[in-house]
Structure 1
Amino acid sequence: MLCQSCGQRQATVQLTRNVKGQEFDQYLCDRCAAMTGQTPDPGWGSPFGSILPGPSPFGYPAHPGSPRREPAGLVCPSCGETERQLKETGLLGCEQCYDTFAAVLDPVFRRVQGHTRHIEAPGESHK
């Protein structure tokens, strides 16, 4: 099912709203859901644990339904990915995101890999 807001990406989040006693479901992609200001409780831990800096793993609130939201922060000029989305999902939107979010990613890469540059393995070459 496509996102009911943008109509471009796969819907991965279901928001249920109660308006005057009636419940309405809305199916959104991750990006459009993030713009609503509500963070769904994923029910599972982040695939990266808490390696990205932030007040909680990937920005999810301690209690589901908590209205607390982080400011969007940096925004990729190429794809529109925000720093908040990166912290929430752990996913980059495009190649340009590596440069845009370098200040956020470099400490993570250094902690996980021990360095921030690709070092070829012995015998590895690029043709």
Structure 2
Amino acid sequence: MRTSGLMGAGLLGLTLTLAGCAGTPPSPYEKAAGEYEGVLPCANCSGIQVDLEMMNMDDTGGAYSLNSLYQGRSDEPMITKGNFLVLKDAGPQQIPTIYELKGAGGNTIYYLRPLDNGDLEVLDTHMQTIQSGADMTLKRQ
């Protein structure tokens, strides 16, 4: 009798522990943290190979590391590290969420819009979709 009581208490404890591990689902910002890559159009090279890592995200921003290789112009990527801001209902189209990557001097490097599939779309300087017909997507890795 005593053994079954201890076993029952043990099972209850295990159940509560496992339920606690499930926790809350990750926020949209935690989901967006990760690595992205793509080749963006370039006026004076064959394309810009972009590798972006977004980290330490919360609902206000986070940190990033950006490697940009100008194909056909350089064998060494430009490496930029900095912070980004999460903008809400931004731009003329009132896009719900935009990530603004800031450079060392505080200048904006990219505006990025998260897509439903987890990728990021590069926006123009006015936070609007670029209508060039080129692929402006950084794909989640």
| Superposition TM-score, scaled by structure 1 size | 0.28
Higher strand share: 2
Which has the greater radius of gyration?
Answer: 2
Higher helix share: 1
The one of the two structures with greater contact order (alpha-carbon pairs below 8 A, sep at least 6) is: 2
